Amino acid sequence: MWIPLFLDPPLQLLYCFQLGLPPTLRALWANPRLLLRPQKLRNIFMAGFWAVFGPGLDAHSAPAKRVLVTPHASGVVLEIGAGHGHSLQYFERAAVDRYIAVEPNEDMHPGLRRSIADAGLSEDDGTALILPFGAHEVGRIAAAVGEGQVDTIISFLTLCSVPNAEQVIPTLCLTLLKRPGGTLLMYEHCLSPVWSSRLIQRFWSPAWSVVWNGCRLDRDTARWVEQVPWSEKHVGEEDIPDWHLFYRAVGRYVL
Ligand SMILES: C[S@@+](CC[C@H](N)C(=O)[O-])C[C@H]1O[C@@H](n2cnc3c(N)ncnc32)[C@H](O)[C@@H]1O
């Protein structure tokens, strides 16, 4: 079992190249000067890859996301790493006043704007706002939306890519969320509780993060989220075994 598990990340990276390279090469062909902008190329790669890979993964995780989002995303909803806006389809539209998407990869924004429109929200009437920031830029986010003004933070498959996530999680939640009642909805892959899987996650994370634009397999998100003084914790279950390299941390946390 351990040999296939060990070989899983490099095989997934090959698949990732298969999906991400064609749009990246097309963009390079159209504009060879992109070679001088490696971060822009990584963004194009990630957006192109996620456009094909993301919907399948989203469909697989739909039951868990629906349980989290549909009854609990309300008021001012801020999503970090919104990507192409997959989570919007789970919104109970009448419960959401405003949607703020924090998405640093601007090549994701066209897809995100389509999902915002499909959800009946709009940047023009102020019911939606896209911030091209990282989730770690808490000061910039707070300057744009105000401190303690957010009812719900959504983080789906994003904290794995956020630098210093251990510090960012409490800072982000305690700065932006309303108190009491502000809620974090989280669906993340994280460090496995099984030591041998952890070794594999730690071994592959450096290479994985280069291809996956900063994402790491070994983030201890399930533990880090516990640093916040939540008044309620509803830790969810995912149908993924604890030895899995993409073991999930799923939950609803209320201040
Ligand atoms: C695996 S995708 C998940 C997208 C979306 N949450 C979903 O579930 O479909 C990770 C997302 O996190 C974004 N991201 C990467 N670094 C980030 C950061 N520092 N802050 C916020 N988002 C980040 C990426 O651009 C990408 O859109």
CATH code of the domain covering residue 239: 3.40.50.150
Atom of ligand 1 nearest to the CA of 105: 25
Q: Is 158 in the pocket of ligand 1 (CB under 6 A)?
A: yes
Give the tens place of pLDDT for each residue, 48-63. 999 999 999 999 999 9
Boundaries of domain holding 65: 2-254
Q: Is 80 in the pocket of ligand 1 (CB under 6 A)?
A: yes
Interval between CA 79 and ligand 1 midpoint (Å) = 10
Which ranges of the chain have pLDDT less than 70?
Answer: none
Give the tens place of pLDDT for each residue, 160-213. 999 999 999 999 999 999 999 999 999 999 999 999 999 999 999 999 999 888
What pLDDT is recorded for position 239?
Answer: 78
Interval between CA 46 and ligand 1 midpoint (Å) = 10
Interval between CA 176 and ligand 1 midpoint (Å) = 18
From start to end of 18-133, where are the E strands?
Answer: 75-80, 96-102, 128-131
Q: How many domains does the chain have?
A: 1
**Helix/strand/coil percentages in the chain, nearest 5:** 55, 15, 30
Interval between CA 1 and ligand 1 midpoint (Å) = 30
Tokens of 159: 């904290």
Q: Is 161 in the pocket of ligand 1 (CB under 6 A)?
A: yes
- Whether 231 and 255 have beta carbons less than 8 Å apart is answered as yes
Q: Is 102 in the pocket of ligand 1 (CB under 6 A)?
A: yes
